[in-house]
Chain A
Amino acid sequence: MSEISQGEAVAASYHRSTGDVLKDIVRRGAVFLLLAALFVLFTAAQPAFLTLNNLMSVLQAVSVVAIIGAGVTVTLAIGGFDLSVGAVAASSVMAASYAMIVLGFSAWQTVPLVLAFGALVGLVNAFLIVKLKVPDLLATLATMFLLTGLQLIPTAGRSISVGLILPDGTTATGKYDPAFLLIGRSSLFGTVPLPVILMVLVAIALYVLTEHTRFGRLLFATGGNEIATRLAGGNTARIRTIAYVLSGTLAALGGIIVAARVGRGDVSSGASLLMDSVAASLIGFAVLSLKRPNVLGTTVGAVFVGVLLNGLTMLNAPYYTQDFIKGAVLVGALALTYGFSRART
């Protein structure tokens, strides 16, 4: 007897024509095809686009967004959302600057301190969400506000640079540790910037963690059906807590890179990081047509936006069109993910 019922459409998709297979390849590889098209287009219009230096500068520009986006992706995988990442990154910039310039910390003290700060914010988020049952979006929105305000208090709203005058009238004596600045400014073999290497390491580590470990399976299981995961013996509270701690820590790492590149603590830094990293995660849904958060997609999404912005800038597109372009890419990616995939009836 043939088994059909609910699975009719799915079963049908196992027997399809070559045309369908081709369509499937186009759908799954759409982002890569578009990326290739961009490369051809930009190189044709501006040969300087396709130089190693320029490509590295593209990757350097997107590294922070890709790293933070990887954390956002993990929170999306557990069915949550971390809106506080931008504020965590921004306050990490301030915290790193404060640690070195006001407290006189070295790089070796500052980096663990800031990462621990990010993890702590993750724990606070997890406490609100897991223990107090505040919805994810609202909880992380609240911590976002909290941090945006908190980072202004120690310096009475001033940016932190060498010779900062503290609220009590004294002058800060510390300075940025040169070793710390290397994180943002050094390159491997003089070509591959350290932030790019960090981005690749984070992407590989989180890709393996989410897609090829049992912890990753439990992350997605929690996001897919929390009740079923708990009934299968999974400790979903712990899994969700780890996800927010990971997200907070990665956002802090992003903040460290920004601080090391800029070399000062600007109150306005990190303003666009939240939107950009969330956009990268969502564009990632379209990569391979997975329709779900995935770390590889997030990285590709961040690179895609970076390539587009860099190319257009080289073609003299004005800077103020950047947000519009990012928005258009996001709309296109979401339409691709949800709209043009085969409708299941």
Chain B
Amino acid sequence: MSLIEIENIHRSFGSTRALAGASLGIGRGEIVALMGANGAGKSTLVKILSGVQTSDSGSIRMNGRAYAPQTPAAAAALGVVTVHQSTDLVGIPDLTVADALLLNHFVDGRQPFFLTRRSVRRTAATILSEAGFDLPLERRFSELGPADRQLIAIARALSMKAQLLILDEPTASLSTEEAGRLYQTVLGLKARGISVLYISHRTADIAALADRAVVLRGGRDVATFTRPIDFDEAIAAMIGRPLNAARPQARASCGRVVLELRAVQLHRRAQPFDLQVREGEVVAITGVLGAGKSRLLSALFGTHHLAGGEVLLDGRVYAPRDPADAIAAGVVMAAEDRHRSSLMPRDWPGETIAATISLPHLPRWYPKGLMLSGRETREAGKAISRLGIKAQSPGQSIWALSGGNQQKVVLARWEAEPSRLLLLDEPFQGVDVGARQDIIAAIRADRSRATLIATSDTEEALEVADRVLVMDHHSLRPEHQGSAPALLEEHA
């Protein structure tokens, strides 16, 4: 018997239809994966289920009764709990793990008003042991990694007697090993009869967990796949056309060496390594979270120092003091987490597409200082048509775009002026398959520069790069004769 039955749900925002007749059923103890490109309606459906938004029409029944929560608290009371992507909101940095576990007890008027350290600890320990997790209760929440924060969120959900757990991109910030542990946890929930709605861009997650995958497109459920899931079919259903599955062929001829690392050490105790990247070449570095990929890129961009070795750019010694220095030398970087590293807040000057692109180029584009000419608007217009950015105008807010289009704008920023070396850190974070293809095409189209990409997703690396290298313990492994299966095995 099914736990929850969603039928023909509609939801519009102005003239935009986010959901246009989506239906979905989840059985007891079933893990259902929700797939869909950015803008397919996944987040709206999740928001309706978790009581953040209401639907315009359609019905949801839970255990045979109508289900229409008005607030997240009401949804939780009915047994539907959402664990969100960003886990830093789960607790408060200066409080302990025990406090984080009890946060929802603190706001519940029925709980005792006076707290002692012992009572908090005891209740928290009970919650943890019921969930079957092991976490240090006295540790400060800010010292926990994302994987442990997620466990806290899940444990808290279980303490609220959740029947349906919604996991939104839970592995986005986890390493492969941590993701593996999360799989065990989720399968454990399933064994206890708890249903899981699992939202993810990662095929590995879905392959490991899902009993069934439902694909949303244009606000409607367009296909359902049962185990074993045919991902080529599923992705084709997601983007509405067959996926161009061909991997890029390593280009035979590349230009001269642009970037050369000689005996570079990221840490004093790390193995020294060498690396050469040539003009027109795209090199991807993969490895688990914390392997040192980001550190290498930020050292090349001047925000970190190398512990040893030498870097040559076009044959000359290159040691940038800060990003401004690096940019002047022709080295540019789109750092990971674009919200933090590249975008201005909503409603703040500089939040438009044009201003996002122009920020590093202002001195060159406006040498007199006054910003009266429409240079940035023209440049943004060019980028919009070249990269196929889905936007109404260069003056539109970047926050009106989907994740994939935001990332295209960030890429456009660094392609607006010629560069020698383009560094991209996790360029496909929160980017749907369709936009990913466009971004890959754009990265590979420009052969006047060298490109170095860091990504923890091996498949992405194989898709975009001529050469894939693996980083481990802050050092590059000796050159891989990288056939795809070998790489995938390594990470399985």
Give the B-binding residues of A (Cβ under 8 A): 1-16, 208, 211-218, 220-221, 223-225, 227-235, 291-292, 345
- Inter-subunit contact B369/A214 (CB<8 Å): yes
Binds A, one of B39-47, B142-150, B190-198, B229-237: B39-47
- Known contacts A10-B399, A214-B362, A220-B348; decide if A235 and B324 are in contact (CB<8 Å): yes
A-B contacts besides A12-B15, A220-B350, A345-B53, 20 pairs, CB < 8 Å: A1-B37, A2-B219, A3-B39, A4-B219, A10-B399, A11-B13, A11-B16, A11-B400, A12-B13, A14-B392, A208-B370, A217-B355, A217-B362, A218-B362, A224-B351, A225-B345, A228-B340, A228-B341, A230-B303, A292-B349
* Complex alpha-carbon distance, A214 and B372, angstroms: 10
User: Would you call the interface of chain A mostly helix, strand, loop, or mixed?
Assistant: helix
Q: Which residue of A lies closest to B405 (CB)?
A: A3
* Complex alpha-carbon distance, A345 and B348, angstroms: 18
- Tell me the minimal C-beta distance from B146 to chain A in angstroms: 19
Q: Which of B217, B343, B370 contacts A228 (CB under 8 A)?
A: B343
Q: Which residue of A lies closest to B332 (CB)?
A: A233
- Tell me the minimal C-beta distance from B407 to chain A in angstroms: 13
**Can you list 23 A-B contacts with CB-CB less than 8 angstroms, sorted by A residue number?**
A2-B16, A2-B39, A3-B38, A5-B38, A6-B399, A6-B402, A7-B402, A8-B44, A9-B14, A11-B400, A13-B14, A15-B15, A213-B366, A213-B370, A213-B371, A214-B363, A214-B371, A224-B344, A224-B345, A225-B345, A232-B327, A233-B328, A291-B347
- Tell me the minimal C-beta distance from A288 to chain B in angstroms: 12
Tell me which residues from 227 to 273 in chain B have a Cβ below 8 Å from any Cβ of chain A: 240
- Inter-subunit contact B218/A10 (CB<8 Å): no
* Complex alpha-carbon distance, A232 and B301, angstroms: 11
- Inter-subunit contact B322/A230 (CB<8 Å): yes
Does B333 reach chain A (CB closer than 8 Å)?
Answer: yes
- Tell me the minimal C-beta distance from B343 to chain A in angstroms: 6
Residues of B within 8 Å of A4, CB to CB, are: 13, 16-18, 39, 41, 44, 219, 402
Name the residue in B18, B301, B348 with the highest tally of chain A Cβ atoms < 10 Å from its Cβ.
Answer: B348
- Inter-subunit contact B347/A2 (CB<8 Å): no
Residues of A within 8 Å of B348, CB to CB, are: 220, 223-224, 292
- Inter-subunit contact A16/B401 (CB<8 Å): no
- Inter-subunit contact A220/B53 (CB<8 Å): no
A-B interface, 9 closest residue pairs, ranked by CB to CB distance from nearest: A12-B14, A7-B400, A214-B362, A220-B349, A10-B400, A8-B13, A232-B360, A233-B324, A12-B13
- Inter-subunit contact B342/A231 (CB<8 Å): yes
Residues of A within 8 Å of B362, CB to CB, are: 214, 217-218
Tell me which residues from 30 to 71 in chain B have a Cβ below 8 Å from any Cβ of chain A: 37-39, 41, 43-44, 52-53
- Tell me the minimal C-beta distance from B238 to chain A in angstroms: 10
Q: Which residue of A lies closest to B359 (CB)?
A: A232
Does B397 reach chain A (CB closer than 8 Å)?
Answer: yes
- Tell me the minimal C-beta distance from A73 to chain B in angstroms: 13
Does B464 reach chain A (CB closer than 8 Å)?
Answer: no
* Complex alpha-carbon distance, A223 and B349, angstroms: 10
- Tell me the minimal C-beta distance from B359 to chain A in angstroms: 4
Tell me which residues from 301 to 353 in chain B have a Cβ below 8 Å from any Cβ of chain A: 301, 303, 322-324, 326-328, 333, 335, 340-345, 347-351
Does B390 reach chain A (CB closer than 8 Å)?
Answer: yes
Number of residue pairs A-B, CB distance < 8 angstroms: 148
- Inter-subunit contact B350/A12 (CB<8 Å): no
* Complex alpha-carbon distance, A199 and B399, angstroms: 36
- Tell me the minimal C-beta distance from B450 to chain A in angstroms: 19
* Complex alpha-carbon distance, A14 and B349, angstroms: 19
Name the residue in B14, B37, B345, B399 with the highest tally of chain A Cβ atoms < 10 Å from its Cβ.
Answer: B14
- Inter-subunit contact A5/B341 (CB<8 Å): no
- Tell me the minimal C-beta distance from A79 to chain B in angstroms: 10
Tell me which residues from 205 to 225 in chain B have a Cβ below 8 Å from any Cβ of chain A: 217-219
- Tell me the minimal C-beta distance from A204 to chain B in angstroms: 14
- Inter-subunit contact A15/B14 (CB<8 Å): yes
- Tell me the minimal C-beta distance from A28 to chain B in angstroms: 13
Residues of A within 8 Å of B403, CB to CB, are: 5-6
* Complex alpha-carbon distance, A230 and B341, angstroms: 9
Q: Which residue of A lies closest to B15 (CB)?
A: A15
Q: Which of A16, A220, A234 contacts B324 (CB under 8 A)?
A: A234
- Tell me the minimal C-beta distance from B341 to chain A in angstroms: 6
- Tell me the minimal C-beta distance from A103 to chain B in angstroms: 38
* Complex alpha-carbon distance, A16 and B53, angstroms: 20
- Tell me the minimal C-beta distance from B476 to chain A in angstroms: 24
* Complex alpha-carbon distance, A119 and B137, angstroms: 51
Q: Which of A5, A7, A11, A217 contacts B371 (CB under 8 A)?
A: A217
- Tell me the minimal C-beta distance from A7 to chain B in angstroms: 4
- Known contacts A1-B218, A5-B403, A221-B350; decide if A11 and B14 are in contact (CB<8 Å): yes
* Complex alpha-carbon distance, A185 and B349, angstroms: 39
* Complex alpha-carbon distance, A208 and B368, angstroms: 13
Residues of B within 8 Å of A7, CB to CB, are: 397, 399-402
* Complex alpha-carbon distance, A223 and B14, angstroms: 32
Residues of A within 8 Å of B341, CB to CB, are: 227-228, 231
- Tell me the minimal C-beta distance from B429 to chain A in angstroms: 14
Residues of B within 8 Å of A216, CB to CB, are: 349, 371
Residues of A within 8 Å of B240, CB to CB, are: 1
- Tell me the minimal C-beta distance from A99 to chain B in angstroms: 34
Q: Which of B14, B52, B350, B360 contacts A224 (CB under 8 A)?
A: B350
Q: Which of B18, B350, B397 contacts A217 (CB under 8 A)?
A: B350
- Inter-subunit contact B369/A231 (CB<8 Å): no
- Tell me the minimal C-beta distance from A12 to chain B in angstroms: 3
Q: Mark B364-395, 1 if CB is under 8 A from A, else 0.
A: 00100111100000000000000000101000
- Inter-subunit contact B16/A213 (CB<8 Å): no
- Inter-subunit contact B39/A1 (CB<8 Å): yes
